Amino acid sequence: MFNRVALIGVGLIGGSLARALKKHDLCQSIIGFGRSQEELEKAVELGVIDNFGSDIKETVKDADLVIVAVPMSAFESVFSAMADVISDDTVITDVGSAKNSVIEAAKSAFGDLPSGLVPGHPIAGTEKNGVEASFDSLFENRQIILTPTEKSAAGAIEKVEKMWQAVGAETVQMTAEHHDQVLAATSHLPHVLAFSLVETLGKMHESSEIFRYAAGGFRDFTRIASSDPTMWRDICLNNKTAILSVLKKYERHLKTLEIAIEAQDAEAINEIFVRAKSARDEHVS
């Protein structure tokens, strides 16, 4: 499908996509770029990439596919570094969790949105990070949301879509605005809550005892608080409006539950829990 793939950011997501591309023979070679030479050397040793460049320009030159898998705060600098090297035929996609900010970064860096740019977001991942945590089946039977811009060429969209489908994923398309609203509720809010809960308990005087006796439910819910803090800091900053909107709604519902518990209103508490169970059972398999 591709000759030369340039991978900017060789971590869990980028590394897993590189492994999947190799597993399914979708490219001739993959050249990587990242902040840590040690990680890049490890990626070559593990067979995730074939070699790596010393700078972004060198890495993306002559690539027919560029995959950007860096923290959200780095997108504009990455796009700026490649702006005068890519051609009209270069397909560019990413794995960022906030799509409006990716598009705005591209506008700022390129001046005009490239026709080959097709923003994307794989709804996949683990709480681990780094290239050693990557694996080639991460995207199998997972959804990939594509948010093409008004300038995205039909051919570029088709190539990105077929790439994801070839590694076992299901692709859907929506606007960047809708993506950011949906992901704020389904992904970003849960991570914010998990980080906040663990931070709260960690500051309690009896924190060591609390964590020692934590049951399975606590471990399941707070597992995502082991995710990369830098990545999630950037997501909060780059999807601020949508996250704050859903966070404020959550706070209002939490206050309602707090009032019911304080009043020992068994019926109100039960109704909240019944509605929550029903919604979860209906929508989450």
Domain end position, chosen among 119, 150, 173: 173
Q: Note down the domain range covering 256.
A: 178-283
* Same-domain check for residues 167 and 260: no
Render each residue's pLDDT in the chain as its tens digit; 285 residues. Answer: 999 999 999 999 999 999 999 999 999 999 999 989 999 999 999 999 999 999 999 999 999 999 999 999 999 999 999 999 999 899 999 999 999 999 999 999 999 999 999 999 999 988 888 999 999 999 999 999 999 999 999 999 999 999 999 999 999 999 999 999 999 999 999 999 999 999 998 888 777 777 887 777 888 888 889 988 999 999 999 999 999 999 999 999 999 999 999 999 999 999 999 999 999 999 887
Residue type, 174: M
* Same-domain check for residues 108 and 147: yes
At 238 the pLDDT is 95
The domain that contains 53 carries what CATH number?
3.40.50.720
DSSP, collapsed to helix, strand or coil, labels residue 199 as helix
* Same-domain check for residues 11 and 135: yes
Tally Cβ neighbours within 10 Å of residue 78. Answer: 23
53 φ/ψ angles, rounded to the nearest 5 degrees: -95, 160
Q: Do 106 and 132 form a contact (C-beta atoms < 8 A)? A: no
* Same-domain check for residues 80 and 211: no
The domain that contains 227 carries what CATH number?
1.10.3660.10
Q: How many separate domains does the chain show?
A: 2
- Rg of the chain over Cα atoms, rounded to whole angstroms, equals 21
* Same-domain check for residues 130 and 230: no
* Same-domain check for residues 225 and 163: no
- Nearest Cα to 26, choosing from 133, 164, 171, 141? 164
Domain end position, chosen among 126, 156, 173: 173
* Same-domain check for residues 241 and 142: no
* Same-domain check for residues 254 and 231: yes
pLDDT 10s digits, 153-162: 999 999 999 9
Domain end position, chosen among 173, 203, 226: 173
- pTM of the predicted model, to two decimals? 0.90
Q: Is 250 left (phi over 0), alpha (psi -120 to 50) or beta?
A: alpha
* Same-domain check for residues 166 and 199: no
pLDDT 10s digits, 202-227: 888 777 777 887 777 888 888 889 98
Tally Cβ neighbours within 10 Å of residue 185. Answer: 16
Q: In the sheet where 117-118 sits, what is the strand order?
A: 51-52, 27-33, 2-8, 65-68, 91-94, 117-118
Sign of CA dihedral 110, 111, 114, 118: positive
* Same-domain check for residues 105 and 182: no
